[in-house]
Amino acid sequence: MPKTKPELRVRRTRKYLWDALIRLTTEKGYHAVTVKDITEQAMVNRVTFYRHYEDKHDLLMRGMDEIFDDLVARTKPPLSSLGVSLDRAAPNARAFFEHVREYGEFYRVMLGKNGVSGVENRIRKHIDELFQERLELARQQETGIVKEAMVPPDLAISSISAIVLSMMRWWLENNFPVEAEEIALYTTRLIVLGPYRALGVEMETTGGGGV
């Protein structure tokens, strides 16, 4: 059923307000932005703003909810039973970075110096949950899981999230110098192989000390 004009008007108004919030946060930092700033930037009156949102924090939280709902929806398909390829990015990994590119301004500002306190932790939490889900699926499908973990699972998931966030930052800060397929493949290689092997360096392992 096609959307009615009032529904389209609501969506358009909310988009204008969201775009204004992100633009202003980029320019002056979230804490310096006021509702007046947002409504002037969006060319929407204050009465209309308060018809949709309680305050700028409500606008931010609800906007983030929509973004993260999109992220989950795009990366929901399960792992392939064929395991992980190091020559071609998995569809989920590519979809993740395509999502990041589509919402690039949001991620760029939130992961930058003008970001909002706590938002990076929320982004990390979603990445943690995505990989935790995939770990459970891999266990169920027996796709390359070792019998005994060599590091605590929560530490491993945290490390994977740190790699993903680092790759996101590099990609965003450099204005997407490679395609989503390529950055997804680089990220997969770093996660699966580790930095040394991903760089082509084979390190001998022993039972003793050393780095």
Band (86; pLDDT cuts 50, 70, 90):
confident
In this structure, are residues 178 and 171 in contact, taking their beta carbons and an 8 Å threshold? yes
CATH number for the segment(s) 1-53 = 1.10.10.60
pLDDT at 196: 80
pLDDT digits (tens, 9 = 90+) for 108-133: 999 888 778 788 888 898 888 888 88
- Residue 164, pLDDT above cutoff 70: yes
3-state secondary structure of 129: helix
In this structure, are residues 192 and 84 in contact, taking their beta carbons and an 8 Å threshold? yes
Nearest CA to 170 out of 115, 129, 111 is that of: 111
pLDDT at 141: 64
Q: Tell me the C-alpha distance between 93 and 164, whole Å.
A: 10
Q: Tell me the C-alpha distance between 21 and 37, whole Å.
A: 8
Q: Tell me the C-alpha distance between 39 and 138, whole Å.
A: 47
* Chosen CATH of 57-197 out of 1.10.10, 3.40.50, 1.10.287, 1.10.357: 1.10.357
Question: Residues of CATH 1.10.357 domain(s) within the chain?
Answer: 57-197
pLDDT at 60: 95
